[in-house]
Amino acid sequence: MSPRAWAAFATMSILWGIPYLFIKVAVDDGVPPGFVAWARVLLAACVLLPLAWHARALGALRGRGRWLLAYAVIEISIPFPLIGFGETHVASSTAAIAIATVPLIASLLALRFAPGERLGGRRLVGMLLGFGGVAALVGIDVSGSSGELLGIAALVVAATGYACGPLIISRGLGGLDGRATMGVSLAMAAVVLTPLAALDPPTEVPPTGAIVAIVVLGIVCTAAAFVAFAELVRTAGPSRSVIITYVNPVIALALGVALLDEQPGAGALLGLLLILLGSWLSTDGRLPGPLERRLAGAER
């Protein structure tokens, strides 16, 4: 990975580690999950589209409408409300741990859709460990509550959408300006989410904390993050780009404990460790290139 790719990786690890905190703040303050998703997406589109228009980057999207719509629905319109819904039932740190299954799901998708992919022993062990982590999370921490089980199920569906997103970018949206691609995709997602937001709007003006959370979600965690994500996929490839989920849950866990007084149980901690280890193994257990070369040099 190039220095540019590493910069995008570091940026994404932070920008997609903090949304769970702000989503939790918004939904706990009474803002419906669908409305939170619609508001952050609309705000992000309003930021990115003028930037793309000013850069004259929108013209390059001609003929890419079906890919943009696919990305808007699968990566944004489905996962965003589901994450908010999940966080009405589970802690923000638990939500991040569930979303950490993205590399595992991406590995399964690669076996089906990527030519030449094989399920070797290391990858099989990784997948078993990773999904064993999900079982530990569900079986130890949340098995006593049907609401929490429903929340976890919604989060795993959201993780599946996230796993599909990089494949869509690499196949149909590669090499395009991130502001244009993400701006149009977010605008499409806002249209798709409008009926959901209209059917379940807030019953009163949200508290200041919820409004601030939605603004941060829209500008920082969506507009800035999606541009950085497009750059990460372009420079590092779709398979490596999902590895940001190794770092995201750790950041989300730390924020949940420090700022929301969340207390992850033994199942959450064990699940996190197994999911991260399984994800690493299921992506062939590869270390980033610069780190591999540094370790190789030290061994000599």
Examine residue 8 and state whether it is found in any structural domain, yes or no. Answer: yes
Examine residue 39 and state whether it is found in any structural domain, yes or no. Answer: yes
Tokens 């997948």 belong to residue: 127
Best CA proximity match to 84, nearest among 254, 241, 213: 213
Best CA proximity match to 47, nearest among 191, 23, 194, 39: 39
pLDDT at 40 over 90: yes
Residue 119 pLDDT: 61
Residue type at 88?
Answer: T
Best CA proximity match to 13, nearest among 232, 244, 229: 244
Examine residue 149 and state whether it is found in any structural domain, yes or no. Answer: yes
The mean pLDDT of 241-248, rounded to a whole number, is: 66
Examine residue 289 and state whether it is found in any structural domain, yes or no. Answer: no
Examine residue 187 and state whether it is found in any structural domain, yes or no. Answer: yes
Residue type at 45?
Answer: A
Contact 15, 221 (CB under 8 A): yes
Domain count, the chain: 1
Examine residue 297 and state whether it is found in any structural domain, yes or no. Answer: no
Of the pLDDT bands very low, low, confident and very high (cuts 50, 70, 90), residue 239 is low
Q: Which residue segment(s) compose the domain that 252 sits in?
A: 3-284
- CA distances 199 to 34, 128, 151, 257, Å, are 9, 40, 21, 33
Tokens 């989920």 belong to residue: 245
* Tokens encoding 272: 């996190």
Contact 92, 21 (CB under 8 A): yes
Q: Residues 119-172: pLDDT tens digits?
A: 667 777 877 887 788 778 777 766 667 888 899 999 999 999 988 887 888 788
pTM: 0.83
Residue 272 pLDDT: 82
Query: What does residue 101 show for φ and ψ, rounded to 5 degrees?
Result: -75, 0
* Tokens encoding 124: 């099989």
Examine residue 295 and state whether it is found in any structural domain, yes or no. Answer: no
Residue 210 pLDDT: 96
Cα separation of 94 and 100, whole Å? 10
Q: Residues 178-204: pLDDT tens digits?
A: 889 989 999 999 999 999 999 999 999
Contacts of 148 (CB under 8 A, 6+ apart): 89, 90, 141, 142
Examine residue 186 and state whether it is found in any structural domain, yes or no. Answer: yes
